[in-house]
């Protein structure tokens, strides 16, 4: 088969192992396997949302609304924007791919941190464009290094806040100064997949930045705190010009019907997110305390996951993920995230965090 030549440079995304596969591989009871590998919510969708999803099953002989009108209307009201300033995707991952499709081509460059969310590099390389990477500084995006990496060929800058895979957070005042250095015809994609977990007072200021600069796109998702990653729905707040470009390349029915309904119903339960934020916060503290008690170092996080330093344990760092898996706990190996010597662990329920800490202590 003669595939497009740029595919040769694309590295396959390695997702967190599914519970059933791990249970089968190690002869474990799937009910007892804990997945803390993919920055997912440990809690299911809200019961009201589950009800809405189930009701939609009866309508599945119809295509979903190609324009996501109801969801966009609710998002527009919430953020004080117009539906023409919104794009909705099959997860925000899909939006990253569409944005790359409309901005990148051979000869163009995309700038992002190293390490960062792996989809940026994949989407860039799939377009035959050149990834230009700036190393992190103290586990955080180094805005000066990123600004220095921007050239006349840069068409997209991808920036996560909080950052994945480290969970670090940068104040929006700094990001705003950084945004001012990006040329107007270059898109600044502010990926805020974990925004709802942030406990800083400026957490909504990415939207202010979007108002000031039409080349900013703010991406958010229902995959994380809303617990809907299995349905795939994310959205972007962008200029009408960017929305129109994305509309030209996306497939017409890209967001399925239950996903649209579930996202809409979730938006109506905003006040309940506070409980989930509090649970995540308590889980972070539980993990910090448990790791500190073990003498294991970790990176402070503003998100629902954290990097744990597994160097210097009696189990070699590279073997820790597999040893944890054998014991029924799935985490993400740092090596697959360009963070060798670390594991990335999602914040689970109190019981899940305890099992993780106990199993890790057994490898110490």
Ligand X SMILES: Cc1ncc(COP(=O)(O)O)c(C=O)c1O
Tell me which residues touch ligand X (CB under 6 A).
Answer: 39, 91-93, 117, 160, 164, 191, 193, 221, 223, 229, 234
Judge whether 306 and 284 are in contact, CB under 8 Å. Answer: yes
Structure tokens at 313: 């344990």
Which residue is it, tokens 């009866």?
58
Please give the span between the terminal C-alpha atoms of the chain, in angstroms, as a whole number.
49
**Residue 157 to residue 178: CA distance in whole angstroms:** 11
Between 304 and 353, name the residue whose CB sits nearer to ligand X.
Answer: 304
Classify burial at 275, counting beta carbons within 10 Å of its beta carbon; exposed 0-12, middle 13-18, buried 19 or more.
exposed
CB of 277 to ligand X, least distance (A): 18
Between 91 and 321, name the residue whose CB sits nearer to ligand X.
Answer: 91
CB of 58 to ligand X, least distance (A): 26
Structure tokens at 300: 């402070």
CB of 361 to ligand X, least distance (A): 27
Between 115 and 290, name the residue whose CB sits nearer to ligand X.
Answer: 115
**Residue 338 to residue 17: CA distance in whole angstroms:** 18
Between 162 and 328, name the residue whose CB sits nearer to ligand X.
Answer: 162
CB of 294 to ligand X, least distance (A): 27
Which residue is it, tokens 């010009």?
241
CB of 345 to ligand X, least distance (A): 14
**Residue 221 to residue 99: CA distance in whole angstroms:** 16
Between 88 and 296, name the residue whose CB sits nearer to ligand X.
Answer: 88
Judge whether 228 and 45 are in contact, CB under 8 Å. Answer: yes
Between 109 and 191, name the residue whose CB sits nearer to ligand X.
Answer: 191
Look at residues 292, 302, 295 and name the one whose alpha carbon lies nearest to residue 347.
302
Q: Which residues are within 8 A (CB) of 295 and not within 5 positions of it... i.e. 6 or more apart?
A: 364
| DSSP label at residue 166 | T
Judge whether 39 and 305 are in contact, CB under 8 Å. Answer: yes
CB of 193 to ligand X, least distance (A): 4
User: Which residue of this chain has its Cβ atom nearest to ligand X in the complex?
Assistant: 91
CB of 92 to ligand X, least distance (A): 4
Between 163 and 243, name the residue whose CB sits nearer to ligand X.
Answer: 163
DSSP string, 198-260: --STTTTHHHHHHHH-TTEEEEEESSSTT--TTT--EEEE--HHHHHHHHHHS-TT-S-HHHH
CB of 191 to ligand X, least distance (A): 5
Between 234 and 258, name the residue whose CB sits nearer to ligand X.
Answer: 234
């Amino acid at each position: 088969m003669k595939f497009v030549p740029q595919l040769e440079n694309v590295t396959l995304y390695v997702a967190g192992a599914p519970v059933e596969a791990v249970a089968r591989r190690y002869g474990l009871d799937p009910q007892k396997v804990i997945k803390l590998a993919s920055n997912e919510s440990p809690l299911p969708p809200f019961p009201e949302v589950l009800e809405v999803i189930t009701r939609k099953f009866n309508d599945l002989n119809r295509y979903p609304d190609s324009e996501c009108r109801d969801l966009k209307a609710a998002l527009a009201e919430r953020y004080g924007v117009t539906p023409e300033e919104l794009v909705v995707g099959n997860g925000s991952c899909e939006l990253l791919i569409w944005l790359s499709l409309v901005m990148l081509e051979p000869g163009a460059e995309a700038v992002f941190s190293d390490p960062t969310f792996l989809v940026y590099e994949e989407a860039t390389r799939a377009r035959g464009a050149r990834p230009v990477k700036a190393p992190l500084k103290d586990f955080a995006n180094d805005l000066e290094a990123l600004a220095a990496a921007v050239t006349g060929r840069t068409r997209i800058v991808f920036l996560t806040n909080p950052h994945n895979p480290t969970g670090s957070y940068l104040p929006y005042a700094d990001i705003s100064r950084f945004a001012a250095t990006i040329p107007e015809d270059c898109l600044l994609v502010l990926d805020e997949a974990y925004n709802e977990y942030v406990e800083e007072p400026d957490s909504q200021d990415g939207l202010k930045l979007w108002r000031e600069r039409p080349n900013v796109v703010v991406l958010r998702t229902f995959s994380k705190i809303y617990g809907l990653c299995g349905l795939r729905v994310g959205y972007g707040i962008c200029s009408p010009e960017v929305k129109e470009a994305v509309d030209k390349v996306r497939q017409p029915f890209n967001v399925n019907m239950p996903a649209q309904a579930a996202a809409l119903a979730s938006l109506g339960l905003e006040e309940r997110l506070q409980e989930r934020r509090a649970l995540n916060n308590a889980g972070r503290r539980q993990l910090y305390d448990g790791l500190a008690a073990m003498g294991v170092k970790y990176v402070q996080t503003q998100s629902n996951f954290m990097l744990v330093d597994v160097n210097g344990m009696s189990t070699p760092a590279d073997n820790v993920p597999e040893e944890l898996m054998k014991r029924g706990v799935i985490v993400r190996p740092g090596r697959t995230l360009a963070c060798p010597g670390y594991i990335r662990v999602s914040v689970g329920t109190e019981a899940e965090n305890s099992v993780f800490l106990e199993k890790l202590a057994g490898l110490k």
